[in-house]
Structure 1
Amino acid sequence: MKKITQLLFLTAIAFSGFSQETTYIDFGVNDQETAGNWNNVSIENAASTAGLTTVLINSEGTSTGVTFTINDQFNTVNTAGTQTPDAALPFPDTSTRDSFFGSTTLFQGLTEPSGGFILTDLDPTKFYSFIVFASRNNVSDNRETLYTVTGSTTSAQALNTSNNVADTADILNIQPNASGEITFVAEPGPNNDNGSGFYYLGAIEMITSDTALSINNFNFNFNNSLSVSPNPVKDVCNIKFNLQKKASLNVSVYDINGRLVSTLMNEEASAGDVNLSWDISAENDLAAGLYILKIKANDQVSTSKLLVK
């Protein structure tokens, strides 16, 4: 379900009002943490995950006031995830190459048929959506993991983590229970045929919104027509895409920590082709590295990675 992730990535960077807030969580080993405004839920290799807790920050580095606690421990950490995730995902390789895992049979002294966490101090009036990624490289079996999220309602989505580089499980619009809590459980999915029932949890993009997100509303499909050239870019980058209907359009570039670098367009736009240029030389000694191109039409968002030489 990669398409939904493309459209929701970085929607916490709002231009007015609250509307949405994005929070990133990386599960794994403590020497492979993700830099920037990420919540690293990490342990030493082979250590216990039991009782890990933190107050989450959002993608801008501000405290959300939400407490995260592992309430169902995993076995420990897996460090054999993909180091080359799909460029359209909001997850850098530091978050995809490791994960927490569990098993339904005894493994390294533990049997953990499920693993999970609880979020507390949530706002019962808001909606919480979870974009989940996990990967286990170089395997030939099916290590499908089922993720179940429960608040005032329950929703579940399965993801085959075997050799995964691009797919996500997308669980949308969960509201907390009356106590302001949501629980998240990972366990083997119905198609998991691994002999030990291995399952994984690697990274989460959590989107908090005032109103429910709708899959059916995502109809701009920028990535189907988006052209970014050259990429990597040294001087000028040309950006082209097709807008299928009139919209309030904002096209901006952010660094990997979510800080605004440049706004290329911010106005009402008619349907049709959009052609823009980003002049690197005008950015006052912009450092080489990875940047995010964000295209926002009304409340819908698509992103693409830009590499500056």
Structure 2
Amino acid sequence: MEGQFENPLVIGKTAVPRCFRNINVKSLPVTWRFNKKAWMTSALFTEWVKDLNSKMKRAGRNVLLLLDNAPSHPVDLNLSNVKLLFLPANTTAKLQPLDQGIIQDMKQFYRKRLLRSVLAKIDDESVVSAESVSKSLNVLDAVQWVNSSIKDVKADTVTKCFRKAGFKESLFASDSVVVDDDDDDDDEDDNVPIQELVELMRVANKKISLGDTMTVKEYLDVDSNIPNGEDLSENWESDLLQTHKNTESEPVDSDSDDECSGVAPTPEPICDLKTHQDALKCIDQLKVYCMNKDLGSVSAMFSRAGEELEKLSVDALCSTLFL
């Protein structure tokens, strides 16, 4: 069972962002939830972990869930098949396997997809502003990148991170994953995502007007200081009540979601395909159509096709820039 991930939980700001208008939200490759701040809350965590408990009960499994002491993690949940283990304060960076490289690995895959998608949409002769780049992205893209990036995290990476966090070797007796001690620090495959990201950043720094040149580390950590969970401020009770009221009154199809402000209405079908960019627009429309018809496997196929086309487009761009 090592290296298996649950369906990702993604939290946005509205029930149905504009870029979700033509699709069935239940057909997304993630579990979509929302609140005004796009934060993890105790209510959302409780719903998620109870669903996990029901799944484990049906499968006849018992699992251990390692958690920090964030306010969004209730300590009084009564679960039959999921045991919650809260790590001591200020030890998460050392004892939480996710923090030993799993999150970082997933972020590398995600940011590689994001940057490659942006660069694939830029004409060979163009240099674009950061503002125009932000308008070319939407939440639907992010949801698909999250799902694909988690699947790219290898089982032996997960095992290594558990071992690094101090878990006993007896936990990894399964035949499904074999990890060589000699490969822990110098596995060349582990460096592939970061090497690809370095190359993409070279192109980005030439094709996107960023002001100052951005390093790969700065790009990976660009959102590290953004709050992602509720805190216990002095007025936390009234704030939580107000958030609940606002969420209840949220229109289903909101035009206020600034996450999708750069997304135009569904464009007219393109009949004359001359460039990679034209083809990518068509693939995007096909993905939306498939999700609207609950054709998840077909949508995933088009997503993979889109990624391959983006790679070709960026490779062509690189050959132009670095001849």
- TM class by smaller structure: under 0.3
The TM-score, its normalising length taken from structure 1, stands at 0.24
Structure possessing the higher radius of gyration over alpha carbons: 2
The TM-score, its normalising length taken from structure 2, stands at 0.24
